[in-house]
Amino acid sequence: MGGWLRRAPGSLRGLRHLALGSPASAGRGYQLPHTDLTVTPEEHVDEETYYQLYPGHIPTSPLQKALLSAGSAFMALYNPYRHDMVAVLGETTGSSALRSLRDKMRHDPEGYQILQERPRIRLSTLDVTGLRGLSDGTFGREYVRFLDSNRVSPDTRMPVKFVDDEELAYVIQRYREVHDLMHTLLGMPTNMLGEVVVKWFEAIQTGLPMCILGAVFGPVRLNARKLQILTMELIPWAVQSGRNASCVLNFYYENRWEQTVESLREEIGILHPPAI
Amino acid sequence: MTKSLHFLPLSSCPKYMECPPHTCPVHLTQYPVFQQWPMPAAPEGMNRTVVILQVVLHKWIPESNSVFFWFAEAGFQLAGTEVSHDSELRYASAKFTPLPKMAASIGVAACRALHSRCRGKLLSIGRGLFSGARCLVAEGETNFGFQTVSEAEKGEKVYRVFESVAKKYDIMNDSMSLGIHRLWKDILLHQMNPYPGTQLLDVAGGTGDIAFRFINYVRSQWEHQIRQKLKSHQNLSWQEISKSYEEEELKLPGGSQVVVCDINKEMLKVGKQKAQHLGYSKGLSWVVGNAEELPFNDNKFDVYTIAFGIRNVTHIDQALQEAYRVLKPGGRFLCLEFSQVNNPIVSRLYDLYSFQVIPVLGEIIAGDWKSYQYLVESIRRFPAQEVFKAMIEDAGFLKVEYRNLTAGIVAIHSGFKL
């Protein structure tokens, strides 16, 4: 990310650092000694390893984050199939919400355990056949049913790139992986309507700006009938559930496959979903 | 200042690559450029320290060179350091007498004279200076943007970059350059000024921009010629009359031909689709080939162009030699490439735009940050206008000149095989 900047007087150092994309100050990256000399090098040979806080991390300056947020918001609305744009929007705008989420996780024993152990939900770690073998009504069985009927896979989640803190990067990764589980718990399919409902729930729960934007702008693409169902029944239920429920990231779902969906819903605090 | 101030080899001067041909601010003397090519390895250890000190002190105390000169003259030997053997050999061939050991000793003396804190700082600067310098890498290694990779790896990495950007290549070009790349390519064609009958080889021409413009240009030239003849009441030949009535032309006017050659199959695929979509089919062929080893016979083409491709080639000198080989005598070499900006204000704005905005655009439009990071880094790595001009001259081309476009962001280099 650095550059060999040959002509840059010390007075324009601010501009130079902006130009060369110095890492966000929040990052725990390596700090180079600054000088006032005309030829100021940066160790970009080692920069990749120095500034990368986790694999896949791309350090970005505040200007770049602003541009990314604006651009990804526009692109996500323009082309709703660009899921990576939604992910980027979440990463670049979610820093304060992620921090409050992480604090919530730290204060809860199960959430703290998740932060320590850092479990990942991936096809390689999931025992899909075992889950399929569970009885109907259990969380694991319903989850696999959801994956099969909607033809989705937990491996299609984007890796985190633009979060400048390694723990927060895990928090947002966990949020993405828990998203599918939310679909199961709320009983919502992966069509536009279902996604909007889940976004409303998540917006109340997490407070991520991306969820709020998705919840507000998502319904734009729905037809009138669906919009009516949405506003009359689904959104009030989602908002109430979101307020009532404790933080969804504080549950170690990998240990709860055998639990029934109903009991899990009760434990979290999600109200019974209305019939669509 | 006399020549004997050159007690360090030219190549160790960190400003070497940007000095115009005949002055060096650090060495304060005249020298003909490019005595040694390819570049020798960067100096190590004490040599590096000395060079850094030279640069630093010279900035603030222009007379400091005489201090170094004095040390050198006095033969002040404090300590010897190892200098790499091959560097000594190379230096021996230089016009000026480099004295690595003496330089090392001077370095030691100077270092001891300075505060140790400063030395730490300066050493880190030095490391940065040389790791960042263009072309100063070890043997068998080359630059991939700002990373150093082996030469074998670079080709593969570049291939993967273009494979992933191929589909969005044109959209990205338009958004990154705000459409100005079309003007640049048009100017290239105007400089080429092909007449009907020209055989063009467009290397690294993947999506066919130059080829299509060439076809349009030749067609409009032909129509212009016909119109001129009609205006001056010349009798058209039967062939010309029949051609102007033909709806389906079998060939391009005058027998012009374009061969688009690219190493990357995805780019050629996109180019072919574009050609079909826009209706270019005659006189156009698509060939997969490596610019360093073109699959064509000698003396075959009238014009060889390479637009925004040569900086991705691992061995630029080999590509230039191949260009020389496949051109007919009298043929023209044209290269459109990003180059070094000479205006300091434009340079800073350009850097800001390149490093801040372009990777973001890449992420948003193409979903690929790293490829566009590579793009802007590879632009910084490419030699400056004069250096590249010398490389073209080395390959045997004559009457080599370059023309800066947009304050030096882009340059068109042209040479003739005579």
CB contact (8 A) between residue A7 and residue B355: no
Q: Is A67's CB within 8 Å of B360's CB?
A: yes
Query: Strands of B257-262's sheet, edge to edge?
Result: B284-288, B257-262, B199-203, B301-307, B327-338, B410-416, B398-405
Quick: pLDDT tens for B381-396.
899 999 999 999 999 9
pTM equals: 0.67
CB A76 within 8 A of CB A86: yes
Structure tokens at A205: 């729960």
Each of the 418 residues of chain B gets a pLDDT tens digit; together they read 333 333 344 445 555 455 444 444 444 444 443 333 334 444 566 666 765 676 666 566 655 555 554 554 444 344 333 333 333 333 333 333 334 444 444 444 444 444 444 444 444 443 434 333 344 566 778 888 888 888 888 888 889 888 888 888 999 999 999 999 999 999 999 999 998 889 999 999 889 999 999 999 998 988 888 888 888 877 767 777 777 666 445 567 778 899 999 999 999 999 999 999 998 888 899 999 999 999 999 999 999 999 999 999 999 999 999 999 999 999 999 999 999 998 999 999 999 999 999 999 999 999 889 999 999 999 998 999 999 999 999 999 999 999 999 999 999 999 999 8
- Sequence-distant (6+) residues with CB within 8 A of B384 are B17, B18, B339, B340
Reported as a pLDDT band with limits 50, 70 and 90, residue A154 is confident
Instruction: Tell whether A38 lies on the interface with B, counting CB pairs under 8 A.
Output: yes
Q: Name chain B contacts of A61, Cβ cutoff 8 Å.
A: 356
Min Cα–Cα distance to chain B from A90, Å? 14
Q: Does the beta-carbon distance from B146 to A33 stay under 8 Å?
A: no
Q: Choose the mutation target among B341, B347, B351, B372 for the interface with A, i.e. most A CBs under 10 Å.
A: B351
ipTM: 0.75
Please state at what angle helix B369-381 crosses helix B151-165, rounded to 10 degrees.
Answer: 130
8 Å CB contact of B55 and A39: yes
Residue A22 tokens, joined: 């110095």
Q: Mutate which of A5, A6, A52 to test chain B, going by most B C-beta atoms within 10 A?
A: A6
User: Given B127, B147, B359, which is nearest A43 (Cβ)?
Assistant: B127
Coil, helix or strand for B287?
Answer: strand
Q: B140's torsion region: left (phi>0), alpha (psi -120 to 50) or beta? A: left
The token pair at A150 is: 């909607």
Query: Which residues 61-80 of chain B have a CB within 8 Å of chain A?
Result: none
For residue B413, which of B344, B343, B349, B340 has the smallest C-alpha distance? B340
User: What would the two tokens of residue B298 be?
Assistant: 């000698």
Cβ count near A258 (within 10 Å): 12
CA distance B90 to A234: 78
Q: What residues of chain B lie within 8 A of the CB of A88, using their CB?
A: 363-364
Q: Does B168 touch chain A (CB under 8 A)?
A: no
* Number of Cα atoms under 13 Å in the Cβ half of residue B51: 26
> Among partner residues B132, B357, B359, which is closest to A44 by beta-carbon distance?
B132
**Interface size, chain A vs chain B, as Cβ–Cβ contacts under 8 Å:** 99
Q: A20 in contact with B at a CB cutoff of 8 Å?
A: yes
Nearest to B304 by CA among B347, B273, B258: B258
If one counts every other C-beta atom within 10 angstroms of the C-beta of residue A237, the result is 18
For residues A192-202, one letter each, b for 16 or more C-beta atoms within 10 angstroms of the residue's C-beta and e for the rest, the string is bbbbbbbbbbb
Measured between beta carbons, the chain B residues lying within 8 angstroms of A43 are 124, 127-128, 131
Question: What are phi and psi for residue B200, nearest 5 degrees?
Answer: -110, 135
Residue B97: other Cβ atoms inside 10 A: 15
Of the CA atoms within 13 Å of residue B377, those in its CB half-sphere come to: 23
In chain B, which among 128-147 make CB contacts under 8 A with chain A? 128-129, 131-134, 146-147
Give the C-alpha distances (Å, rounded to integers) separating A89 from A77, A171, A213, B47: 11, 15, 10, 49
Q: Which residues of A touch B344 (CB under 8 A)?
A: 7
C-beta atoms of B364 and A75 within 8 A: yes
Whether residue A68 and residue B364 make contact (CB cut-off 8 A), yes or no, is: yes
Partner A contacted by B355 (CB < 8 A): yes
Report residue B347 as tokens: 């340079």
Strands B257-262 and B284-288: parallel
Decide if A241 touches B, using CB distance below 8 A: no
What are the structure tokens assigned to B316, written together? 């630029």
Helices (H), B8-147: 45-60, 64-74, 85-93, 100-113, 116-132
Residues B53, B62 contacting (CB under 8 angstroms) = no
Q: Return the sign of the alpha-carbon dihedral for residues B162, B167, B171, B172.
A: negative
pLDDT, tens digit, for every residue of A25-75?
A: 333 333 333 333 333 333 344 444 457 888 889 999 999 999 999 999 999
pLDDT, tens only, A227-260: 887 788 888 889 999 999 999 999 998 888 888 8
Distance CA A146, CA A244 (A): 24
Chain B CB contacts of A65 below 8 Å:
none
CA of B144: which chain A residue's CA is closest? A45
Residue B389, pLDDT score: 95
Q: Which two tokens stand for residue B1?
A: 């200042």
Best to test chain A binding among B59, B363, B369, B387 (most A CBs inside 10 Å):
B363
